[in-house]
């Protein structure tokens, strides 16, 4: 083990793949105007001395969720959650058998409910998401999202996220941006899993909400969820809640539909460098194709209209074609072809590196000689550590983990703990 030095660090194997990793933060994006617009904007606002430099405190980015960060077809994910809640509560509400929109849902006709638009969905949400504490609701969401699957792919809904957008979130975060989810979905629904899936903390989620009431239950303070709408966070409502929650206008906004238009207008209408982006769902093979822009079908919820398309072009917003601009849509899809040098390195590692040549990883750096001498002179005490779990990943490009195949947490491994000792015996300051 070695202390980190103020040096430039490089890791092996040294191949063109490793070099590419350092220069391409968006590997799931095809090279083209869309990708370049993102890279150029981030470089412009983060480069000190640039006329468009933006301090870290002002680097705010806002993202719609449904259709922007994850799949919203054939219905928004929270609609499936509401459907399951109707089924779970049906025995307490015999009137729902004949009362719409509940009757259609109990018959499995989600399409009829969606055809009723936002109002019917809100009615269902208020009937099924209220009458409990915020903590109780949180537990229900956690249990549901852990097992609920997309009806077409069979994948967990949390796997139906867009790989290019996950990369974009990480890229912005690495460059000092605070990412906010600004969704028409329920704020407390998204807060339960947003940090785990997107790296967005609960306080950085802004969404629609129902009213809550403080009360004492058995002497303990709780917040009760009431069957009354507090705020519908859609369209013109999004700039309002951004102002209320954040207190700063974003400098970058990302959406996919008419529901995001005002958020992009609010963001790009300010002074200085600003960025707006819309995801166009035009890939019927890998996801869905819907508009009605460019003659594609109009969905009940989440429409990308021709008027929005023309406004985006006039305003200079980036329009991302899912079909043409994304190499990969979902994280579970096969990614780009892996560098043959990397495949050879991994496949022959044991044969070439075992025994006396054992050297699983070497990290080298460039540092002043006096720093290295000081580091080598310092005593190094052995230590023990305990793994929290283990996992097997499919190899991805550049030696990264493409996707998790299986994992064993402490609860599944019987709490077994293994100990390893680290030694510092390299004569040249390299870490092993």
- Half-sphere exposure of residue 386: CA atoms within 13 angstroms, side-chain side: 7
pLDDT at 360 over 70: no
- The pLDDT assigned to 389 comes to 75
pLDDT tens-digit series, residues 182-226:
999 999 999 999 999 999 999 999 999 999 999 999 999 999 999
Cα–Cα distance, 208 to 87 (Å, whole number):
23
- As a whole number of angstroms, the distance between CA 253 and CA 168 comes to 12
Report the share of the chain in percent with pLDDT over 70. Answer: 79
- Tell me what pLDDT residue 396 has: 59
Whether residue 356 has pLDDT greater than 60: yes
19 band by pLDDT with thresholds 50, 70 and 90: very low
Residue 238, pLDDT > 80, answer yes
Which domains can be identified in the chain, with CATH numbers?
Answer: 1-27+336-432 (no CATH), 35-325 (3.40.50.1000)
């Amino acid at each position: 083990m070695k202390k980190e030095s103020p040096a430039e660090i490089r890791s092996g194997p040294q191949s063109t793949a490793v070099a590419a990793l350092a220069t391409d933060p968006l590997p799931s994006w095809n090279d083209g105007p869309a990708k370049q617009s993102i890279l150029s904007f981030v470089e412009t606002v983060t480069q000190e001395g640039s006329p468009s430099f933006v301090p870290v405190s002002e680097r705010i980015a806002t993202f719609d969720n449904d259709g922007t960060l994850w799949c919203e077809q054939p219905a928004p994910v929270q609609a499936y959650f509401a459907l399951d809640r109707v089924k779970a509560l049906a025995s307490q509400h015999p009137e729902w058998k004949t009362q719409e929109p509940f009757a259609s849902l109990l018959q499995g006709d989600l399409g009829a409910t969606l055809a009723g638009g936002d109002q019917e969905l809100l009615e269902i949400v208020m009937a099924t998401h209220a009458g409990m504490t915020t903590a109780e609701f949180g537990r229900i969401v956690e249990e549901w999202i852990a097992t609920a699957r997309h009806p077409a792919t069979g994948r967990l809904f949390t796997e139906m996220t867009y790989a290019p957008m996950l990369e974009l979130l990480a890229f912005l975060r690495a460059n000092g941006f605070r990412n906010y989810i600004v969704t028409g979905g329920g704020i407390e629904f998204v807060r339960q899993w947003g940090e785990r899936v997107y790296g967005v903390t609960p306080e950085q989620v802004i969404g629609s909400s129902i009213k809550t009431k403080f009360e004492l239950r058995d002497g303990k303070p709780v917040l009760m969820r009431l069957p009354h709408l507090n705020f519908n966070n859609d369209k013109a409502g999004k700039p309002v809640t951004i102002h209320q929650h954040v207190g700063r206008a974003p400098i970058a906004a990302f959406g996919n539909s008419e529901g995001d238009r005002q958020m992009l207008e609010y963001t790009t209408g300010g002074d200085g460098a600003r960025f707006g982006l819309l995801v166009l769902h035009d890939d019927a093979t890998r996801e869905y194709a819907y508009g009605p822009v460019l003659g594609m079908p109009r969905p009940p919820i989440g429409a990308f209209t021709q008027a929005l398309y023309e406004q985006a072009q006039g305003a200079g917003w980036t329009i991302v074609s899912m079909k043409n601009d994304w190499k990969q849509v979902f994280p579970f899809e096969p990614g780009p072809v892996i560098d043959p040098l990397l495949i050879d390195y991994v496949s022959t590692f044991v044969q070439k590196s075992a025994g006396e040549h054992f050297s699983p990883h070497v990290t080298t750096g460039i540092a002043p000689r006096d720093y290295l001498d000081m580091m080598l002179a310092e005593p190094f005490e052995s230590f023990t550590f305990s793994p929290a779990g283990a996992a097997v990943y499919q190899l991805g490009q550049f030696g990264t983990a493409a996707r998790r195949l299986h994992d064993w947490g402490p609860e599944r491994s019987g709490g077994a703990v293994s100990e390893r000792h680290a030694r510092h015996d390299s004569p040249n300051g390299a870490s092993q």
